[in-house]
Structure 1
């Protein structure tokens, strides 16, 4: 299968103390025009504030489809935030690749590097603060338009205009949109969860989650991730 796109945006950032009483964040990233070195843990000039949940080998690069921003602009959320490529803290922006078109485990040539899709994004409360819309993380999750993460199989150099080309498809029966929907489905069947837990190309954290779902009535509490660590009134909203 031929599947290619062109890198139209490269974004990196450093942690900043942006919100009083809240942990720092590196979600605000800037576009760079110079080529970037990509290592097993991400671009050398990109940083994360909380490395327990961001970055690392299983979240080395975040890719967000540029065409999704038109959808977000059309929602008319009560915010002055500009929904433009790079706005959600992604590292890579392209057009023509979406969660419906790629599959879990897909291997791509990215510049001179080689990368593999291993999970979707689990949006967190920092996106709410960043966009000045308190339900943004939940809306992103409900939409399925989360983008995805790559692990780096072969380090290399990546530049604006480089081709992103599919070189191997390991799980054609599992489009990423289907996997993401399963990840956030509270009523996911044990049979489907068992199948997903067996996909070795998937990130370890996602495989462990599906293994728990396969084993019984496990229900994940998403409140802290989606709403935040505080005990404010927003917690009254039940995450979907």
Structure 2
């Protein structure tokens, strides 16, 4: 069981370029519907890389904020739960506690872990901290996405409860370490690509890399 805080938000401009982002979220204080595309009222600016059924909900572990604040003290005051654009924040889980394909109950909804988040340049501009997105990626402080298997309603105070653990699969952190490896074993990468529940976009990237590894010997 993991306690959570809920966040949703619309699209706002970034402070320097004015480019649109859905990263600015506000706490949810009443029950909210959760469907295949995410929480009611929540928006993503660039739908090519954010949102959609495989990325309907984003969770960011609250414990990562202390590490980010220590590395980027100029942004420490802004680094609070919800500020990286997550819909769910929890102090109880991180990437070592979940596996691709895990099924979790949240309120009356059912969620499945689908892939890690891929941090982008907008994080640096949002916090005025060059290199933050790269640091998040390098140190696997990414959080993850969920798909919504069963729509429902979620209320502040609800908990995330594991219903079915994916069997014989790596943790999300282990999967990320494999993906980051300079030349991962082809067999290990093939097993990663075949994981039930894996987001299609990440599977496509893994398959492309497998093709390159096999051709390059």
Fold-level similarity (TM above 0.5)? yes
Which of 201, 204, 212 does residue 205 from structure 1 map onto?
201
- Segments of 5+ residues of structure 1 without an aligned counterpart are 219-240
Partner Cα distance (1:79, 1:20) in 2: 15
Quote the residue 1:74 is aligned against: 70
Q: Which runs of 5+ in 2 are unaligned?
A: none
Please list, as runs of the form range in 1=range in 2, the aligned pairs for 1:210-225 lying within 5 A after superposition.
210-217=206-213
Do residues 124 (structure 1) and 120 (structure 2) align? yes
Match of 2:3 among 6, 9, 13: 6
Which one of 140, 144, 147 corresponds to residue 144 of structure 1?
140
Q: What is the aligned residue count?
A: 214
**For residue 37 of structure 1, what is the aligned residue in structure 2?**
33
Counterpart-to-counterpart distance in 1, 2:135 and 2:72: 12
Q: CA RMSD in A?
A: 1.6
**Could you state the TM-score of these two structures normalised by the residue count of structure 1?**
0.84
Instruction: Identify, as 1 or 2, the structure richer in helix.
Output: 2
Instruction: Decide which moves more: 96-105 or 12-21.
Output: 12-21
Q: Cα gap change, 1:22/1:180 in structure 2, threshold over 3 Å: closer, same or farther?
A: farther
Aligned match of 2:191: 195
Q: Using the TM superposition, name which of 74-83 and 93-102 deviates more.
A: 74-83
Q: How has the CA–CA distance of structure 1 residues 74 and 151 changed in structure 2, closer, same or farther, with 3 Å as cutoff?
A: same
How far residue 78 of structure 1 moved from its aligned partner, in angstroms, is 3.8
Q: Paired residue for 1:101?
A: 97
